């Protein structure tokens, strides 16, 4: 087993998933604003330490994706966060993509930046204690989009990123996110998800990325937020858990190579309950179909939102917030085994 496959199997350990705590300062600020929390570097550090220091959380978390600022920060114990997490049996990852830019010729679409200077950043991040990385691409569904050009360009950049990470001794998590925004049907989402992943894996093959030494972070096949299938239309139109699970797994079966060790889901606009129930259903269906991949989670808001609300920036709320987080991780970890019930 190579060092990278060892890290991959640790990240995909049964009964565990990954916390995405890699929100940029601006995203973190928006979430803090909701609860009137002061938007300072120290409050962000305090918030992340609240999450990372929650008792028993390593039972359900194998890794945590950090933001550049957090990777460099220290816990109140004086330990750098990667060391603080490592002592708890949790691996540290790092978001390495940068902002997006408009796609030439298709201004409604975007491609992710970050390849420039990537090798140097990877070397430094490895030195600071990161063992894995993440790169997110954004795919929108709309009138005439996504275009082949958008899928191809994002696929190429994801492949170049993955190859660079493996060369630097870090496990890449490739995240081509098909956004929830829109009025599209579940069938349209399945079609776009299938095509997005197929194109990305074509580019991975061309770039000679070792698929056994990486992880896919994927969206689920879901009807658009403004679609009647989300439950906003007439009775009986809402897509069921079973329909979502089957559509998602059909997309994977059609596009994800069997040698991929695992797939982790993003929560992308779903409520904590939706993200948990849907994961649970997908895992149960995947077991029935005897699919080859370990399927689990890499959630951000679906794990953090109830905790942030419970904390609201107040010291006296830390214990309650940590209890909330411990429960959310435990529920989601059970769902990653198809054993969730509420």
Could you list the active site residues? 175, 217
Cα(34)–Cα(315) distance, integer angstroms? 18
Q: Return the closest-CA partner of residue 283 out of 293, 274, 270.
A: 293
**CA 178 to chain centroid:** 12
Torsion of CA 34, 40, 175, 93, to 10 degrees: -130
- Is residue 60 within 8 A of residue 332, CB to CB? The reply is yes
Cα 136–Cα 137–Cα 139 angle in degrees, nearest 5: 140
| Pairing outcome for strands 100-103 and 106-112 | antiparallel
Instruction: Say what the alpha-carbon torsion angle 220, 224, 225, 226 is, to the nearest 10 degrees.
Output: -170
Q: Is 108 exposed, middle or buried (0-12, 13-18, 19+ CB in 10 A)?
A: middle
Rounded distance, CA 339 to CA 248, Å? 19
Helices (H), 66-128: 68-72, 81-86, 118-127
Which residue carries 């570097």 as its tokens? 41
Distances (CA, A) of 173 to 4, 33, 213, 215, 311: 12, 30, 10, 5, 30
Do 333 and 17 meet the contact criterion of CB atoms below 8 Å apart? yes
CA–CA separation, 260 vs 13, rounded Å? 15
């Amino acid at each position: 087993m190579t060092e990278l496959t060892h890290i991959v199997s640790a990240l995909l350990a049964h009964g565990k998933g990954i916390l995405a705590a890699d929100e940029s300062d601006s995203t973190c600020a928006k979430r803090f604003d909701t609860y009137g929390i002061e938007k300072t570097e120290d409050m962000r550090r305090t918030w992340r330490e609240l999450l990372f220091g929650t008792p028993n959380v390593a039972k359900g978390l194998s890794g945590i994706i950090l933001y550049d600022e957090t990777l460099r920060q220290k816990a109140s114990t004086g330990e750098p966060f990667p060391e603080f997490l490592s002592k708890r049996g949790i691996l540290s990852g790092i978001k390495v993509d940068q902002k997006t830019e408009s796609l030439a010729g298709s201004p409604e679409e975007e491609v992710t930046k970050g390849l420039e200077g990537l090798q140097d950043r990877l070397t430094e991040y490895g030195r600071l204690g990161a063992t894995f990385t993440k790169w997110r691409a954004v795919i929108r569904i709309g009138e005439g989009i996504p275009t082949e050009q958008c899928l191809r360009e994002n696929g190429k950049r994801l492949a170049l990123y993955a190859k660079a990470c493996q060369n630097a001794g870090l496990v890449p998590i490739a995240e081509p996110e098909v956004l929830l925004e829109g009025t599209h049907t579940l069938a349209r989402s399945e079609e776009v998800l299938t095509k997005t992943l197929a194109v990305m894996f074509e580019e991975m093959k061309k770039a000679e990325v070792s698929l056994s030494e990486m992880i896919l972070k994927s969206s689920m096949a879901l009807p658009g937020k403004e679609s009647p299938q989300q439950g906003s239309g007439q009775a009986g139109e809402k897509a069921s858990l079973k329909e979502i699970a089957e559509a998602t797994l059909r997309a994977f079966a059609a596009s994800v190579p069997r040698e991929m060790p695992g797939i982790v889901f993003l929560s992308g606009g779903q409520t904590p309950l939706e993200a948990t129930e849907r994961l649970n259903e997908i895992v149960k269906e995947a077991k029935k179909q005897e699919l080859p991949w370990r399927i689990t989670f890499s959630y951000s808001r679906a794990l953090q939102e109830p905790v942030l609300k419970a904390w609201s920036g107040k010291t006296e709320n830390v214990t309650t917030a940590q209890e909330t987080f411990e429960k959310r991780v435990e529920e989601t970890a059970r769902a990653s085994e198809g054993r969730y019930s509420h």
